[in-house]
Amino acid sequence: MNKDYNNLKLESIRLRKRGLSYNEIKKKINISKSTLSYWLKTIPLKAEHRQRLYTKQIQILSRGSQSQKERRIKQIEQIIKKAEDEIRSPLSLETYRLMGASLYWAEGSKGKMCNITNSDPYLILFMVRWIEKIFKIPAKNLKARLNIYPQQNESKIKKFWSNLTFIPIENFGKSYIKPKNKGYKKNNLYYGTIRIEIPKSVDIGYRIFGWIKATTKNLDSKIQLTQRKWQSLRKTSRPINLILK
């Protein structure tokens, strides 16, 4: 063992006798834990030093899950920030149009009248502004309906959505009050669910689905081929609702 290693070993022994852990010593003299373990395995620790290291280890173990959670939160924040930087703002009109059309495709009605239902204030406000920008229909001309639980304050929830969207309260139709049940709902929808309706919007619906069709037409051949292959699935009979007395 050369002189430097002799000095490092002596220093590690001195630090160990002071009650430092292998990790603490490693930070000071930059020696691997396996080497420290070999050098120091015969060095006894005083009772107070053993107690300190035991207490420290318990604290590390008790904070383990919390530390992992905090690290994960920071990772998620970094991912979101990086993704935000990838988007150029303001959005082009075409990007804005297709973003709203995609949201409508996922969350909107497939019937004759255009309406979209959701509980997310961000999504709802985006769609109200999208409708105004793309179709020139102001919020004051839209209709709305709530879907809430009996324990919720219908009047206050209407005011919340009206303040957010600028849809007048008098434009809110009759709310649907969900019946009471004994089940436990994990996600508490504090603002209920709101349905935004565009009056006289049959042609608007066709335009939206025209935009969607234009962006997905390269999928037509694959979908049609697969549907022809599996058209037997269309022969499945519809379920019958049985009324039990």
Choose the weakest-confidence range: 20-29, 56-65, 162-171: 56-65
Beta carbons of 167 and 137 less than 8 angstroms apart: no
Query: Model confidence over 93-109: pLDDT tens digits?
Result: 999 999 999 999 999 99
* Averaged pLDDT for residues 1-7: 70
Question: Which amino acid would we find at residue 153?
Answer: N
Tell me which DSSP letter residue 150 carries. T
DSSP H or E stretch at residue 200: none
* Averaged pLDDT for residues 166-185: 85
Question: Which amino acid would we find at residue 210?
Answer: G
Average pLDDT, the chain: 88
The pLDDT value recorded for residue 179 is 86
Residue 3 has pLDDT above 60, yes or no: no
Both tokens of residue 234?
A: 């269309």
The pLDDT value recorded for residue 47 is 84
Beta carbons of 127 and 196 less than 8 angstroms apart: yes
Residues contacting residue 220 through CB under 8 Å, at least 6 positions apart: none
Question: Which amino acid would we find at residue 152?
Answer: Q
* Averaged pLDDT for residues 1-30: 85
Residues contacting residue 189 through CB under 8 Å, at least 6 positions apart: 119, 148, 149
The pLDDT value recorded for residue 245 is 46
Beta bridge partners of 115: 197
Query: Model confidence over 27-69: pLDDT tens digits?
Result: 888 888 889 988 998 888 888 888 888 787 777 766 666 677 7
Beta carbons of 39 and 13 less than 8 angstroms apart: yes
Residue 162 has pLDDT above 50, yes or no: yes
pTM of the model: 0.69
Q: Which string of DSSP letters, residue by residue, matches 96-115?
A: HHHHHHHHHHHHB--SSSEE
| Of 39, 192, 196, 188, the residue nearest 114 (C-alpha) | 196
Tally: H helices and E strands in the chain = 9, 4
Instruction: Place 182 in a pLDDT band, splitting at 50, 70 and 90.
Output: low
Query: Model confidence over 64-88: pLDDT tens digits?
Result: 666 777 888 889 999 999 999 999 8
Q: Pick the more confident residue, 4 or 140.
A: 140
CA 145 – CA 143 distance, rounded (Å): 7
Helix, strand and coil percent figures for the chain, each rounded to 5:
60, 10, 30
Instruction: Place 217 in a pLDDT band, splitting at 50, 70 and 90.
Output: very high
